[in-house]
Chain A
Amino acid sequence: MDKRVFTVIAFEFNNLAKKRVYIVLTLLLSLIVFGIFFIPGLITGKDDTPTEPVDGQKTIYVIGEIKDEALLVETLDSFFPEYTFSAATGQSRASLIKEVTEQGQTYGVLTLSENNQAELSVYQSDMFGTVTPRLQDALNRYQALAALTAAGIPANEANETLVPANVSLHEIVQDLGKSQAQNYAFTYAVLMLLYMAVMIYGQIVAGSVAAEKGNRTMELLITSTKPLNLLVGKVLGNGLAGLLQLFLILGSALAGYLLNQGNMSALGMGAITAPMVLRSLLFFVLAYFTFAFLFSALGSLVSRTEEVNQAVTTVTLPFVAVFLVAMSALFTPMSSFVKTMSFVPLFSPFVMFVRTQMTVVPTVQVLIAVVISLLTLVASAMISAKIYRLGTLLYGNPVKLTDLPKLLRR
């Protein structure tokens, strides 16, 4: 390999990146993922703003067994700033209900009876049903306050005692371990992206190698520069165009995320940190190029683009296996099976990636996995270069994989 590999990289990169389908697809997908991040905000945003109409307070009449009218109204008012409560002892429930249905102004009738039973009749219930639990809290508070004042404690003291102290509990996981729940969505998304990237760009690279054989450009290429330059240039050129596309899409995802950071918990998505992104990048690149080389080598074994699909199944099947193991690691990142697989060539970059995202992995283990993945990548490139050199000038029937070792030895 020499500096001409850069000529090939630039040529291949331009060929792919200047295609109309590439540009349109990149823009479209970027817009879509950017938009996706606004959805949680659009859905949950309604929760924060009261749905009540603003034109005038609505009244809720309270009737029935009331021991301390003033205290009850005060307590209810403090829980429901949007309503006005009014004690209507002496009036019949039926007449009040009639009033509720006739005048839109009155919201409902709250009837208290013996044994802490209460009944709320409303003209129209609110969409999210937040009234009932709040009412329950309010009535419980009222009962407690009533009991305390009856025992001789001044009303304001009793009130202070009962107002919740607002103890806030945050789960702090960074120091002690990792939150599987928080990282799940991110890891899942990266795995899916990786799967798509390998499948799509692997096919593109394999197809482009086969096309060069099909239109016989290969003969000129192979006599113009070394096969290794061609193979590495092709894989990196197309690979980088693929990565650029992914980064543009991820960039718009990040922009969407930053603009909607507050609503992300609804997606099961915790904070995305720099180490998470860096780990993803590292393992992504390792896994992606390892498979891209294998795809391109297989592309060189067929003579026409039509035969590419069939040829690449030899790699897609093991790749799907790797992907499935990585997905299982997402659910059982601590299992010994997953731990073992994170050191197996080809599996390593995927499975170790999941482990580092979902659990705390000793640095040594991560380094070992990175080294294994790197060696696998180099081995994949070297084997692919051999197959490529052999395959480039082989025409006729597609080479059977079982014959490959024999041919390579020759």
Chain B
Amino acid sequence: MQLELKDIHKSFGDKHVLRGMSFTVNTGRAFGLLGRNGSGKTTTARIILDVFRPDQGEVLLDGKRLESDQSRFGYLPEEKGLYPKLPIVDQLIYFGQLRGMTKRAATEAANHWLEVVELSHEKTRKLETLSKGNQQKVQLICALLTDPDILILDEPFSGLDPVNARLLKTIVTEEVAKGKLVLFSSHQMAEVETFCDDIAILHDGTIALSGRLSQIKRSYPQDKVELRILQDGRLVPQPEMLRIVSDLAPERALAEAVGDDLVSLKFQGESERRPFLTTLLNAGYDVDLYEVTVPSLAEIFVETTTKGASHG
């Protein structure tokens, strides 16, 4: 399956939130829609879910206009909310039924998922008595209950401890493997980085950057390295290293202290990288570390969303 958003425009009053946004999500790959607070991620989710109609543009599923059939969607909203005063299993069944399941099917699915997320023993408790992480898990079940084709998870990691975050990743990875179309929206870069295959960065109402995450990273110039030097079995302290670098390559490399004995070098071009290593070795230095630094997703994100620059 392929979900395609084409040239979506949406305004609220005089606030033009989306200005010709387009991206494509494919089955079998976790997709991360990234953006700063208020960039329009939730609006995009709501447009896909047919809560909002776009002012312009269309949402296509396998090339056809998307019908508003709620049972095909699983949605985990950013603003988490269920009935605080009702037993969790009751409301899960209710939401299953609202999405078109029979009561029996909804009950079975609810019990199954409560088992999976280890909440079976809490199922008759009121939602408000559960911890925030457990409430989040109930919310996730709500999204998975109908075995939907398309999963939209808005900030799924917020409020989860590392153990629960891993549980969530396992569940979602399984869903992706089952051939579900999974769309994340998040501003937690670390989680997205370890998890999503494809990303799109939403900025100023359009997709400023999109594609396969590994390729995006590759596309950035490989002109930065981290350097550590050994001398007589000891690590050379960082001020000493800065002096060595400026002695050997005053023009070609910009050195910057990173730690007590770690220095980051930025070359004028990728081609400068190897010759400098040769220079270092020829000068008789024992190079302990010389590693190309790939920009982290966070860095790419900050660069993309603060400068408004488009890249890749």
Let me know if B98 and A8 touch, CB within 8 A.
yes
A218 close to B98 (CB less than 8 A): no
Of A7, A15, A218, the residue contacting B81 (CB under 8 A) is A218
Q: Any chain B CB within 8 A of the CB of A11? A: yes
Say whether A344 faces chain B, with CB atoms less than 8 Å apart: no
Number of A-B contacts (CB under 8 A): 50
Q: Assess whether A215 is in contact with B51, with CB atoms less than 8 Å apart.
A: no
Chain B contributes a number of interface residues (CB within 8 A of A) equal to: 22
State A222–B70 Cα separation when bound (angstroms): 10
**Do B81 and A220 have beta carbons less than 8 Å apart?**
yes
Chain A CB within 8 A of B312 CB = no
Output the least CB separation between A220 and chain B (Å): 6
Contacts of A221 in B (CB 8 A): 98
Cβ 8 A contact of A223, one of B49, B80, B83, B84: B49
Q: Are B81 and A216 in contact (CB under 8 A)?
A: yes
Enumerate chain B residues within 8 angstroms of A216, measured Cβ to Cβ: 77, 79-81
For chain B residues 2-36, which have a beta carbon within 8 Å of chain A? Answer: none
**Residue contact B70 to A220, C-beta cutoff 8 Å:** no
Contact string against B for A residues 219-248, beta-carbon threshold 8 Å, 1 for contact and 0 otherwise: 111111100010000000000000000000
Interface residues of B in 83-137 (CB under 8 A from A): 83-84, 86, 94-95, 97-100
B70 near A224 (CB under 8 angstroms)? yes
- When distances are taken between beta carbons in the complex, the residues of chain A under 8 Å from B84 are 215
B294 on interface, CB distance cutoff 8 Å = no
For residue A222, which residues in chain B have a CB less than 8 angstroms away from its CB?
51
Instruction: Evaluate contact between B99 and A224: CB separation under 8 angstroms.
Output: yes
| Chain A: minimal CB distance from B3 (Å) | 16
Known contacts A223-B75, A225-B70; A217 and B98 CB within 8 A of each other: no
CB distance from A408 to the nearest CB of B (A): 14
Q: Quick one: closest B residue to A217, CB to CB?
A: B81
Give A22-43 interface residues, CB cut-off 8 Å to B: none
B187-228 vs A: 1/0 string, CB under 8 Å? Answer: 000000000000000000000000000000000000000000
| Of listed B86, B98, B100, residue having the most chain A CB within 10 A | B98
Tell whether, in the assembled complex, residue B83 and residue A217 are in contact, meaning their CB atoms are under 8 Å apart.
Answer: yes
Question: What's the least CB distance linking A40 to chain B, in Å?
Answer: 44
Alpha-carbon distance A89/B8, docked complex (angstroms): 118
Q: A4 near B: Cβ within 8 Å? A: yes
B77 cross-chain contacts in A, Cβ below 8 A: 216, 219-220, 223
How far does the alpha carbon of A217 sit from the alpha carbon of B97 in the complex, in Å? 15
Residues facing B in A364-404 (CB within 8 A) are 393
The 6 A-B residue pairs whose C-beta atoms are closest, nearest first, are A216-B81, A224-B98, A216-B79, A219-B77, A7-B97, A225-B98
- Please give 19 more A-B residue pairs, beta carbons under 8 A apart, in addition to A4-B98, A393-B46: A15-B86, A216-B80, A216-B81, A217-B82, A218-B81, A219-B77, A220-B95, A220-B142, A222-B51, A223-B46, A223-B49, A223-B70, A223-B73, A223-B75, A223-B77, A224-B70, A224-B95, A224-B99, A225-B98
